[in-house]
Structure 1
C-alpha cells in the first residue's frame, strides 16, 4: 500500500478491526519512510449480479432500487428505520446467497414482498399494488382476501 503523504510503498499495518455495518475491515497503517499514519478499508469484492427485467433487458443489481421501493411502501407507517434497514439487508443476503450471476426481477420482487408481508401488512399491499400492477379495485381486493386468508 502506498503512503498518501510521501508515495513510498513501505507501509505496515498497525491495527485492524472489522467494521460491522459495511462488512469491511478498517486498517490503521504507518509509513516506514515518513512515519505518518493513515487508514484504509478493505471490502470483499463480489461478482456483479445482473437483474433480468420483464422486457428481458439486463441491468446491474442496484440496492438503492430496493431501498426506494421499500421506503415508498413504508411511507408514514410506524416502522422503525432499523427494521427497514434489516429487511433490506435480509433481502440482499437472500438474493446473493443464491450464488447466481443473473436473477429475474420477478424473483427479486417476490422476495421483497415476502419480507414486507412480515414487516407490515399495509406496506406489503402498497408494494404489491405497484409490483403486481393492479388494474382495478377487484384485483386489489383479491390480493387483500388472499393475504387475510393466510392469517
Structure 2
C-alpha cells in the first residue's frame, strides 16, 4: 500500500513538473511582444598612463634588484618601487620593523630580499625612519 501511494505521489509530482503549453487567452497577448531585457556591456574607463619613475627611483630599483641577487630578476622597477613605498607607508602608520619583517616572510620573501628592500627603501624614500635600524634587526 505504501509503495502504491509513493508511486502515485511520484507520478503526480512528475506530471506537475512536466512542461505545459497553453494558448494565449486574449488576442492582445498574441500581438504584444514580450519585454526583452536590455543588455549592456560594461566598458572600463580608460586608464591614465602611469607616471614615469624618477631617476632616483630607477636607481633605487636597480640597487634593490642587485642586492637581492637573483630573487627579483623578473620583478619590474615599478613593482619594486611600490613595495618600497609600502614599507615607508607602514612605518608611517606605526608598524614596527619586526612586524614588517614577519609580513614579508609570510609573503615568501627570504632574508636576502628583506635586507635588499628595507635599508635602501627607508634611506631613499623615508629617511625620517632610519632610526628603526639602530637595533640592528635588518
TM-score (norm 2): 0.30
Tell me which of the two structures has the higher relative contact order, counting C-alpha pairs closer than 8 angstroms and 6 or more residues apart.
Answer: 2
TM-score (norm 1): 0.28
Structure having the larger proportion of residues in helix: 2
Structure having the larger proportion of residues in strand: 1
